[in-house]
Structure 1
Amino acid sequence: MNIARMRRLGRRLVELAKATDTGTGRPVLTPGEEAVFVDVLRHPGSAVRDIQARTGFAQSHVSASVARMRERGILETGQDPEDGRRTQVKVADVAMHALFRRATTPVDEVLREALRDPADAGRAVALLTELESLLITDDSHGEG
């Protein structure tokens, strides 16, 4: 395997993970919204300016993304108790619960649908489990 194939594999795994969202009524995020969401998830209580600095997006883009996700119940905003002029952004509780449910969903069914052969799906689950144990450590926090 080379780097190009590894990237292709990574993209395919992301596609399969996202396939669990289709047809479920879950809100679909644009790539920009997803980047803002992940930043808020990692840095709850951040101001739009802080999110903008970390993501590199224009402040207007971050503000618009936050507003859209707030309207859809994905994010919540509130005043900073220490500085009432600042607005803090956090992931809504309902979105956190949905994220937890999604994150803890076994991959077996998705792989069975993608591979069609139950034996191949079982082998893929075993291989992914082994890769997880090798590449995802307590120190990596899921970042590799």
Structure 2
Amino acid sequence: MQWSSSLSAMDGVRLLRLGKRLTELGRAMVADHASATLTPGEIAVISDVYQHPGSSVQDIRVRTGFAQSHVSTSVARLRERGLLDAAPDPADGRRTLLSVSTLARGYVRARATRPAEPLLAEALADPAQARRAAELLDELAALLLPGGPPAPARPDAAVPPPADQG
């Protein structure tokens, strides 16, 4: 299929700018005082493991698109902090399978599963535009992210982050 330039005003530069803005909004959703010491990559890794318990570093790399070295470094840091648990793969003892620790589970549940619409409402100021932006983002996610659309967030998923342990 050939695209006509009249179909869309989207070009590479606008797409990069949009991606940067969406990244900023995503970081604002997951960042707070409890996660200020986590890098965006670590937040993405722990969120991925939360959604896919029993994952290997390779599994995480495929889903996130990060380099394996980046995933391995993030996993090591998260394990040191007690946020990820590791166990040998029963089918292949050389592989390590990861899961979110009890300490981190409530925090991740509260931050990673909350809806984006309130943040979009802040960014756009018009509730109708915020709803439309949320609908468009859901549609884009269904089209562009592997695995299709995510399950809707559960209303009971918003629990407070764990108390500081340090």
User: Is the structural similarity TM-score above 0.5?
Assistant: yes
Q: Say if 2:73 is the partner of 1:68.
A: no
| C-alpha distance in 1 between matches for 2:42 and 2:80 | 13
| C-alpha distance in 2 between matches for 1:35 and 1:125 | 24
Q: What root-mean-square deviation, in Å, do the aligned CA atoms of Structure 1 and Structure 2 show?
A: 3.5
**C-alpha displacement at 1:12, in angstroms?**
0.7
Give, as a single letter, the amino acid of the residue that structure 1 aligns with 2:114: T
| C-alpha distance in 2 between matches for 1:112 and 1:66 | 34
What's the counterpart of residue 135 of structure 2?
Answer: 130
For the residue of structure 1 that corresponds to 2:126, the secondary structure is helix
| Residue of structure 2 aligned with 1:29, choices 7, 30, 38 | 38
Task: Map Cα deviations across residues 78-121 of structure 1 (whole Å, 9 max, x no partner).
Answer: 23334545432222244343233223434454345445xxxx33
| C-alpha distance in 2 between matches for 1:32 and 1:129 | 23
- Cα distance change of structure 1 residues 2 and 129 upon mapping to structure 2, 3 Å threshold: same
TM-score normalised by structure 2 residue count:
0.57
**Identity percentage of aligned residues:** 41
What's the counterpart of residue 98 of structure 1?
Answer: 107
8 Å Cα contact 2:54-2:98 kept in structure 1: yes
| Residue of structure 2 aligned with 1:7, choices 13, 16, 20 | 16
More helix by share: 1
**C-alpha displacement at 1:69, in angstroms?**
0.3
Where do 5+ consecutive residues of structure 2 fail to align? 1-8, 151-166
- Cα distance change of structure 1 residues 108 and 87 upon mapping to structure 2, 3 Å threshold: closer
**C-alpha displacement at 1:27, in angstroms?**
5.2
| C-alpha distance in 2 between matches for 1:101 and 1:17 | 14
Where do 5+ consecutive residues of structure 1 fail to align? none
TM-score normalised by structure 1 residue count:
0.63
Q: Say if 2:149 is the partner of 1:141.
A: yes
8 Å Cα contact 2:87-2:97 kept in structure 1: yes
8 Å Cα contact 1:108-1:121 kept in structure 2: no
